Structure 1
Amino acid sequence: MSVLRELERKYNLHPSIKGQELTDRESLRKVNYPEGNVKQQVSSVVRSCLRNYKCSSYGELRTLLERFNVSIEERTGTIDGRSYAGIVYGAMTDDGYGVGTPFKSSKIGKDVGYRALQKYYERSKAALRENDALGRLRRAVRDAMSPHNTRDEFRRLLKADNIDAIFRINPVRRMFSPAQDSYLNHSCKWSRP
């Protein structure tokens, strides 16, 4: 093992670590592919997001995970008359391009698989219905929204209410919030970054 570790350091190789020897990191940070052990990094981000955020749909979870350089893809279909449904995770660069080889959720654990995510979406929907959480969210966004605010000011105002804002921007630099990605079906436009 000492020779293996020495070769890994000498040639800047990814360390060889079996399965779940490393525990999930508590702090949530972006996946860094060159750092190595991508499966553990992705696992840590996904589990932390599922613990700390409420996403009621695949689109919302995908948007959140992309913020931490993690791609997610639902795979459903039929083979030989048998239906299947699964999740594939992968690493991304800061500009949104996939890097490395994506892997099935089963390589991480059942708690991040297709069925577990369907249950998570339902629990998130129920939690948002409780105590008018969705109404409070809508009011906070409405109050923070102003044509005079920059995106940073908008983000800061929401952060004061313990709400993280993630902006989706298309290739022509327009912000959008498709209904499948957001509870707030409105059009946001800011001329200043």
Structure 2
Amino acid sequence: MVARIVTGKSIKGAVNYNEEKVRKGLATLIGAQGYTASPEHLTFKGRLLRLERLAAGNSRAKTNCVHISLNFEPAEKLSDEKMTQIAERYMQGIGLGAQPFLVYRHTDAGHPHMHIVTTNIQSDGQRISLHNIGKEKSEPIRKEIEQRFGLVPSEGREKDSPYLKPADLEAASYGKSGTKKAISNIVRTVVREYNFTTLAELNAVLRSFNVVADRGEPDSKMFAAKGLCYFITDAKGNKVGVPIKASAIYSKPTLPSLEEKFVKNAEQRWRFKTPLKNAIDKAVTEVKDADKLVAALKADNIDVVFRRNPERIYGVTFVDHRSMSVFNGSDLGKNYSAAQLLARLTTDDKELRSEIQKNKVLSEKAFEKIDFDLGIAATIGQLYNQGLRLLHGNSDAESFTVGSKESPEFSYVTVPQHIEKYFRLHLTAGLINGINELAKLTLPGAFLAAPFLNSIKILLEAQQQDIAFYVSKRPKRKRKR
């Protein structure tokens, strides 16, 4: 069993999501814990009001809605009664068993699963803490339930599990369904399920469902006011029909709200970075053009969105539906930017392996000769004087790589761990970029001369001044009396 917990502040949105499935015949309400009537005798209003009244008891709580999905292996046959028993035990285990909650059995995917909607606001207005609920409460009770009910264990299977995707969404089609209803369902699900860090990344997912988020023209009043609308798009990606304001959707996916998610998602999505890079690397070794790469990764449930103008491809975004995370190519590292990716596709695999091996040998010999006691500026000078270059990813969490200035950047090798630690003490991604710009203006063999070394020292001093300025401008904490 795999459990997923989503918290928010729109109980109506969570209930309506499930009720819409019921109206389409894709879900059934099988449980209503803490209600005075049985599920079949509850109206939509009756189901919703019980939870909304509790949530209204604490107007200060930023989170008052808990939406849970419990997913089971496709081969498991579970009756409604067994599902409700599992739901009740799970809710007790995570500390929400005394709260009223609704249990919906969904039939819109190839595996059995249910959704549970509740609130963490108690009858006295006190808030039940949801901090670390997944690790500290959900995981232990999940394992207990698997044993008690004889379920297939999901330990170690979460990343590869085919049923961790969001519920199957139908792409919006203008004129076939209500515009607001279609857009609302898609936007709420995508915003809730996917890790994206920019509006462009969000649109990379939305466009696959024929929806796009639009801020208006840069000089418009809507843009200046941080307004946001959602449109249905046609087969060519053109906006059609009447736009729906973000504030008119239940979950309120406005730009300020999305910007808060950008920050949270940036912290969460990096654990999915390595599996995505591995999948891309594997596909690149098997195909030799951009269209085949798109097809190969799509078969692995990864969408590749190349950004083009009339002259060339200038960017790429990866939508990993396995981990529900979106990455701009350069965020994964230099080797995954559009330019480098296309270069890798046109490079023979045997030639690439040869370049990597050459850079490995050159860098090992170079590091053996370098006298690190002379300082970081001289260390860089000695390295560059041997025909090598140092590279760094866009993020300071990236590793340093090194290779011949004549080699393509994607064939560079990671520096040894002890040297990596040394570089991290002195160098940043921005500083490396500055040094490499200086290197382009320096003649071969002149990297140990005063002009180059002094320029590096100036860059280092500027970096230290920037850090000192930042620290001095940080607001001082007031002492508690």
| CA deviation map 1:96-128 (0-9, x unaligned) | 111111121011134311122112212221112
Query: Is the alpha carbon distance of 1:145 and 1:173 closer, same or farther for their aligned partners in structure 2, counting shifts above 3 Å?
Result: farther
- Partner residue in 2 for 1:23: 20
Structure 2 unmatched runs, 5+: 1-15, 25-166, 318-326, 347-481
The one-letter code matched in structure 2 to 1:186 is: A
Q: 1:100 to 1:154 in 2, by over 3 A?
A: closer
Residue 170 of structure 1 aligns with which residue?
308
Match of 1:148 among 288, 300, 309: 288
Aligned-residue RMSD, C-alpha: 3.4
> CA shift at 1:48, angstroms?
1.8
Distance (Å, rounded) in 1 between the aligned partners of 2:281 and 2:316: 17
Preserved contact between residue 284 and residue 293 of structure 2 (Cα < 8 Å): no
d(CA) in 2 for partners of 1:151, 1:78: 37
Name 2:265's counterpart in structure 1. 124
CA distance in 1, matches of 2:187, 2:201: 13
| Unaligned segments of structure 1, at least 5 residues | 1-19
Larger Rg: 2
Cα distance in 2, alignment partners of residues 53 and 73 from structure 1: 18
Segment of structure 1 superposing worse, 107-116 or 143-152: 143-152
- CA apart distance, 1:69: 1.0
TM-superposed CA distance for 1:173, in Å, is: 8.7
Provide the rounded CA distance (Å) in 2 between the counterparts of 1:50 and 1:164: 18
1:69 to 188, 207, 210: 210
Return the offset for 1:166: 2.8
Q: Distance in 2 between matches of 1:68 and 1:173?
A: 27
Matching residue of 1:59: 200
The alignment-based identity, stated in percent, is: 18
The DSSP-based 3-state class of the residue aligned with 1:101 is: strand
The answer on whether the counterparts of 2:313 and 2:338 sit within 8 Å (CA) in structure 1 is: no
Match of 2:241 in 1: 100
**Equivalent position of 1:186 in the other structure:** 338
3-state SS, counterpart of residue 226 of structure 2: strand
Q: State the alpha-carbon separation in 1 of the partners of residues 295 and 315 from structure 2.
A: 15
Q: Distance in 1 between matches of 2:298 and 2:316?
A: 20
- 1:122–1:100 Cα change, 3 Å: same
Task: Rate the CA distance shift 1:174–1:31 in 2: closer, same or farther, 3 A.
Answer: farther
Residue identity opposite 2:177 in structure 1: G
What does the per-residue CA deviation read over 1:59-79, in whole Å, with 9 as the maximum and x for residues that have no partner? 111122112111211358897
Cα distance 1:30–1:158, how it changes in 2: closer, same or farther (>3 A)?
A: closer
Residue range with higher mean Cα deviation, 108-117 or 173-182? 173-182
Q: Kindly tell me: are residues 157 and 65 of structure 1, through their superposed partners in 2, closer, same or farther at Cα, counting changes over 3 Å? A: closer
SS in 2 for 1:167: strand
1:138 matches 2:277? yes
User: Secondary structure of 1:49's match?
Assistant: helix
Q: Distance in 1 between matches of 2:328 and 2:247?
A: 25
Tell me, yes or no, if the aligned pair for 2:174 and 2:240 is still in contact at 8 Å. yes
The 1:98/1:185 distance shift into structure 2, 3 A limit, reads same
> 1:94 aligns to what SS in structure 2?
coil
CA displacement at 1:152 relative to structure 2: 4.7
- Contact 1:90 1:99 (C-alpha < 8 Å) held by counterparts: yes
Q: Kindly provide the amino acid, as one letter, of the partner of residue 30 in structure 1.
A: A
Letter in 1 for 2:306: R
Is 1:69–1:92's contact at 8 Å kept on the other side of the alignment? yes
CA distance in 2, matches of 1:103, 1:158: 30
SS in 2 for 1:177: strand
**1:75-114 matched pairs, under 5 angstroms:** 84-114=225-255
Q: CA deviation at 1:37?
A: 0.4
Q: How does 1:38-49 map to 2 (within 5 A)?
A: 38-49=179-190
Match of 2:175 among 18, 30, 34: 34
The runs of at least 4 aligned residues of structure 1 exceeding 6 Å deviation read 76-79
TM (norm. structure 2) is: 0.30
Per the alignment, residue 74 of structure 2 pairs with none
Aligned residue-pair number: 165
Change (3 A) 1:92 1:37: same
Change in 2 beyond 3 A, CA 1:185/1:149:
closer
Alpha carbons of 1:67 and 1:174: their partners in 2 closer, same or farther (altered >3 Å)?
A: farther
Q: Any conservation in 1 of the 2:226–2:255 contact (CA below 8 Å)?
A: yes
One-letter amino acid matched to 2:291: R
Taking the aligned partners of 1:49 and 1:152, their CA distance within structure 2 comes to 27
